[in-house]
A and B are shown apart, each in its own frame.
Chain A
Amino acid sequence: MTFMPERAAFSVQPAARGALLREIALLAAGLLLLALVIRVHWMADFAVFFILVLSFDLLYGYMGHLSFGHMLYFGAGAYGAALWLVYGNASAWAALAVGLAAAAGMAALLGGVVLRTRGASFALINMAFNEIGHFLVQSPLAAYTLGEDGLSCTADPLFGAISLYEDRWAFAFCGAVLLAVYALLRLLTRSPFGLLVRSIRENESRVRFLGYDTFRFKWIAFVIASTIAALAGGLFTLVQGFVSPRVISPFGNVDVIFAVLIGGAGSLAGALIGAAAFLAIKNFLPVIIPELSRLLDVKLPQWELWLGVVLLLIVFSLRGGIVGTVQARLRNRKPAGEAQ
Chain B
Amino acid sequence: MLEVARLEAGYGSARVLHDVSLTVAPGEMVFVVGRNGAGKTTLLRTIAGLLPSAAGEIRFEGRSVAGLAPEKRARLGFRYVNQEKRVFSPLSVRSNIELAAHGAGEPFDSAWRRAVALYPKLDEFRELPAGRLSGGQREILLIARALAGQPRLLLIDEPTEGLAAIVIEDIFRILERMRQSVAAIIVEQNLAIVRRLADRIYVMKEGRVVHEIADPRKIAGAEPLECFL
Question: Which A residues are within 8 Å of any B CB, using their own CB?
Answer: 1-6, 9, 192, 195-196, 198-199, 202-203, 205-214, 266, 338-340
Contact = CB atoms under 8 A, between A and B. Distances in A.
Nearest to A5: B102
Contacts of A202: 88-91
A63 B79 CA distance: 24
B102 A4 contact: yes
Contacts of A340: 134
B82 A206 contact: yes
Nearest to B80: A209
Given A4-B105, A9-B108, A339-B137, 7 more contacts: A3-B102, A6-B102, A209-B48, A210-B104, A211-B75, A212-B103, A339-B125
A210 B99 contact: yes
B35 interface: no
B199 interface: no
Given A210-B99, A211-B149, A1 B104 contact: yes
A195 B89 CA distance: 12
A98 to B, nearest CB: 36
A198 B91 CA distance: 8
Nearest to B50: A205
- Range class of the B interface residue count: 35 or more
22 contacts: A1-B105, A2-B105, A3-B103, A5-B102, A6-B108, A192-B98, A195-B99, A198-B90, A199-B88, A199-B99, A202-B88, A202-B90, A206-B82, A208-B70, A209-B79, A210-B103, A210-B145, A210-B148, A211-B74, A338-B128, A339-B125, A339-B134
Q: DSSP class of A's interface residues: helix, strand, loop or mixed?
A: loop
Nearest to B78: A209
A206 B104 contact: no
Contacts of A207: 99, 103
A195 B91 contact: yes
A58 to B, nearest CB: 16
Contacts of A2: 105
A209 B50 CA distance: 9
A4 B103 CA distance: 8
Contacts of B133: 339
Given A199-B91, A340-B134, A208 B69 contact: yes
Nearest to A214: B71
Nearest to B69: A208
